[in-house]
Amino acid sequence: MEPTRRFWTAVALAVAGAALAPLLSNPLLLGIPIGVGTWILAHELQFMRSIRRIQSADPAVVTQSVMNTGVHDGTNPSLRVQFSDTVNETAKLDASIDVTVPSTLLTDTVTPRHVPDNGTVNFDVSLQLPVAGSFEIPTPELHITSAHGLFDETIQAGNACSFIVDPASLRGGTRRQDDALDSMSSFAPGNVREYAPGDPMNRIDWKATARLGELHVREPDPESIRETHLFVDQREPMREGPPGRTKLDYAREIGLAITGQAANNEDPLQVSFVDHGQVFDSQSVTAGEAAYEHVRRRLYDLASDSYDQSSTTDFRTGKPLRFGRNAAHKAGTLADDDDVYSRTLAPYFETMTAYSAELTSEELLKSVRASLHARDGDPWFVIVTDDSNRQEVRVTTELVADYGIELTVFVLPTIRFVDGNAPKPIDEDTTSREFQAFLDTLNAIPGITAFEAGPGKPLPDNPSQPRRSVAQ
């Protein structure tokens, strides 16, 4: 309960009355502080009772629910807020209701809605969901001012809302993501036949080609069952981007779409979450609705805002991994000393630091390599990562190609996720061209299909030239 300016005005009048009484030798002026004090106290007690009644009202005076959710198909959902003063308290108060929707989900600024004297107000707030995922809208807030404006109070009233939005498909992202969807059917394995002019390059079965000595393509066969190995990069660079629209948020959407496709085809699915300090964190290759649901929940939990940059944790143990930093710290400390002990141990710790740096930049490669060794049959590999470590991505794709396994790579361009406060790239055109050149490099590797993923239109290959689709 916060006192307002009106409250302090009343207090000032009471003090004035108490001060004038001895000055004018008039005891009746003490009636002013007594009256004002009683008046404030009466309203305070009354306000307290009103707050209690509003908070304990059954049914609750405020309810909120999210409409039109379920599938992320471009339709904006809305939050419906309904206020009904069932305890008849707001008529003597000044009340307004304010939704507490995270700003990233709002299309417009939402101002508090005043509750009219009849105590009923309903309104809708338009929401935008840039990506599929799990969302929570906290309990609305009710701002109340007591009668005659003596006190203010903000209370939580009503219910919180949580809802899940599944990706309808990869549509709604960039054109290259759409291309990915269109060519999804071609990923399904099937019969192998000789290559004919006009066949898409990504249907070439390189293993069969190598075995038979001539180009062969694979005909899609929806009845076949094929393992899907999904690798979702969740290392620190994937946290870049505005809240709610980080690379990780888009990676989650792609991961959910891939999971949905695997579930539709009843394909066994393995998901590896690639993180700092952990080389391999994976679900086993499983099929069945429970397994798909488990993967979906894990993908929904890819929360970028809970990431603590001060410590990296091992997903399996939950314990922080400080090896690299400790080694670096000790190496630095020993470098400052000049005794025999330091000279002997310093090279050891410097080696450990280098090893640590190498480890933290190769988790994706190590994770993919482990899956390659554990694969069964002719799986489909999908990697969702960004371009912050292009060398690692390129080496990883080459490794998969060496095994003759079909691989789809979704690359989130860092230039798309530059923070508004961060310095912009000096030459965005050059950066875009470099990214396209990187994608082209990946697509040139046999069996590899690379897509640009993320928000907005695809980055232009060359701003002065028409765009070219990567997926052929």
Partner 1 sequence: MKRTLQPRDALGGVSLVALTVLLYTAGGSVSLLFGLTAALAWLFGPPLFAFVLGQAGVAAFAPSMSLPTFILVELAVVLLLFGDVAIDSPIHNWSRAVLLGGIVAITTAVVLTVQSSLLAAGAVCLGAFGVLIYAVDRYEQSNRLNSELNTHG
State which of positions 395-434 bind partner 1 (CB under 8 A).
Answer: none
DSSP per-residue codes, 155-210:
EE-S--EEEEEEES-STTS-HHHHHHHHTGGGGS---EEE--TT--GGGB-HHHHH
Amino acid at 183: S
**CB 112 to partner 1: min, Å:** 15
According to the binding rule CB under 8 A, does residue 147 interact with partner 1? yes
Question: CB 107 → partner 1: shortest distance, Å?
Answer: 29
Give the distance, in angstroms, between the CA of residue 91 and the centroid of all CA atoms in the same chain.
42
Instruction: Report in angstroms how near the CB of residue 10 gets to partner 1 at its nearest.
Output: 6
210: contact with partner 1 by CB under 8 A: no
DSSP 8-state secondary structure symbol assigned to residue 285: S
Q: Which tokens is 448 given?
A: 């590899």
Q: Does 390 bind partner 1 (CB under 8 A)?
A: no
Question: Which residues pair with residue 98 across a beta bridge?
Answer: 141
Report the residue number, 34 or 71, with the smaller CB distance to partner 1.
34
Report how far residue 51's alpha carbon sits from residue 46's, in angstroms, rounded to the nearest whole number.
9
d(CA 142, CA 93): 12
Contact, 371 vs 285, CB < 8 A?
A: no
Binders in 33-52 for partner 1, by CB under 8 A: 33-46, 48-49, 51-52
Task: Out of 4, 30, 282, 359, point to the residue binding partner 1 (CB under 8 A).
Answer: 30
**Total number of residues binding partner 1 (CB under 8 A)?**
48
359 binds partner 1 (CB under 8 A): no
Smallest distance, partner 1 to C-beta of residue 139, A:
9
Q: Which residues, numbered 49-68, are part of the site for partner 1 (CB under 8 A)? A: 49, 51-52, 55-56
Exactly one of 4, 13, 87, 279 binds partner 1 (CB under 8 A); that residue is 13
199-206 long-range contacts, CB within 8 A, separation 24+: 200/472, 201/472, 202/449, 202/471, 202/472, 204/446, 204/447, 206/401, 206/404, 206/446, 206/447
17 part of the interface to partner 1, by CB under 8 A: yes
Q: Among 232, 231, 270, 271, which Cα is nearest to 249's?
A: 232
Piece of 149-157, 259-267, 278-286, 433-441 that binds partner 1 (CB under 8 A): 149-157
User: Whose Cβ is closer to partner 1: residue 126's or residue 139's?
Assistant: 139
Report the interface residues with partner 1, using CB under 8 A: 1, 6, 10, 13-15, 17-19, 21-22, 24-46, 48-49, 51-52, 55-56, 92, 94, 145, 147-149, 155-156
